[in-house]
Amino acid sequence: MRIIGILLAALAMTAPAHAQPAYPTKPITLVAAFAPGGGTDTAARIIAKELAIELGQPVVVDNRAGAGGAIGATSVARAAPDGYTLLLGTGSELIVLPAVKAKPPYDTLKEFEPVAEIGTVSLMLVAHPSVPANTVQELIALARANPGQLTYASFGMGSTNHLMGEFFTSKTGTNLLHVPYKGSAAAATDLISGQVKLAFETMTVAMPLVKGGKLKALAILSPTRSALAPDLPTMAESGVALVTQGWMGVLAPKNTPPAIVERLNKAVNKVLAMPAIRDAFSDRGVGVVTVTPEQFGDFIKAEIKQWTAVVTASGVQVD
């Protein structure tokens, strides 16, 4: 009996050293790689509150803007792979930026763990009301008559909407002046004031400004028209073969334990299934998508292959 008692006591002493506390046990940081007020920041804040309830810990949105999203993304790639630092990432900083950079800031496949896709994002070509063009063809004529005079804003060098501007000019034989910003909100502010004249902006940010009369929409870049703006033609309908959509999702540092990735995936998907959350995204031009981490990873691989080919064909590269 004495021997059994000693063994039980020894097990009791050693068990806590091997036991793993249930994840999560402390607040989680959700990094948005662009400034407050933009589409990425808005999406992060839409899901953060409900995600915190689902996980039982605060989810704090941390805006780390700059370098076309590379600063925020890099901070997550370098963080401990423990599930407490996540990225609300987009195709802009994770796919397009590494493809156009002469020296990519990171390797998305090697440095990030896909957790959960959130959805697809529609992009719109919008203009300041002072621009004397109400259609894409009128804009093309105006740009050709005034080479280098019309400015367009982007979220930064190498961002998706920077590339959209480059593609637009190459496909239409025009010359637009690129003005990079640290995020959507800053770009929209100068667009509203007329400091810049054009932008390939997310519907999340653009639609409220268009409805409020602060901007005018010329085309949507999605394959089909949007229910939010059924009278707005697609870019293809407007005579320019430029069709694309953005996307966003949650990612973790590479080598985050599979059990934590799975826990986060189920939590995010549960939040996305809530009618109020789906409506909030739908109202902002985001089509909600719920997939497994593996499916999200396959999607990212396909995006990298597609955009690498596009960038190579375009010849666009930034330092």
Domain locations in the chain?
13-122+247-314, 125-220
3-state DSSP assignment of residue 238: coil
pLDDT digits (tens, 9 = 90+) for 155-187: 888 788 888 898 899 889 999 999 998 778 888
Output the pTM of the full model: 0.79
pLDDT band (50, 70, 90) for residue 15: very low
| pLDDT of res. 315 | 76
Q: Is the pLDDT of residue 8 over 50?
A: no
- Among residues 254, 290, 285, the alpha carbon closest in space to that of 42 is found at 285
- Among residues 70, 242, 74, the alpha carbon closest in space to that of 157 is found at 70
CATH 3.40.190.150 fits 13-122+247-314, yes or no: yes
**Euclidean distance between the first and the last CA atom of the chain, given in angstroms as a whole number:** 74
Q: Do domains 13-122+247-314 and 125-220 have the same CATH topology?
A: yes
Which listed CATH number (3.40.190.10, 3.40.50.150, 3.90.1300.10, 2.40.50.140) goes with 125-220? Answer: 3.40.190.10
pLDDT band (50, 70, 90) for residue 17: very low
| pLDDT of res. 20 | 57
pLDDT digits (tens, 9 = 90+) for 102-111: 899 999 999 9
Q: How far is 149 from 177, CA to CA, in rounded Å?
A: 7
| Percent residues over pLDDT 90 in the chain | 68
Q: For the CA atoms of the chain, what is the radius of gyration?
A: 22
Confirm if 122 and 220 have CB atoms less than 8 A apart: yes
Cβ neighbours for 211, distance < 8 A, ≥ 6 positions apart: none
pLDDT digits (tens, 9 = 90+) for 217-239: 999 999 999 988 999 999 999 99
pLDDT digits (tens, 9 = 90+) for 278-310: 999 988 888 999 999 999 999 999 999 988 887
pLDDT digits (tens, 9 = 90+) for 42-62: 999 999 999 999 999 999 999
Which of residues 195 and 15 earns the better pLDDT score?
A: 195
Q: Is the dihedral of CA 268, 38, 235, 211 positive or negative?
A: positive
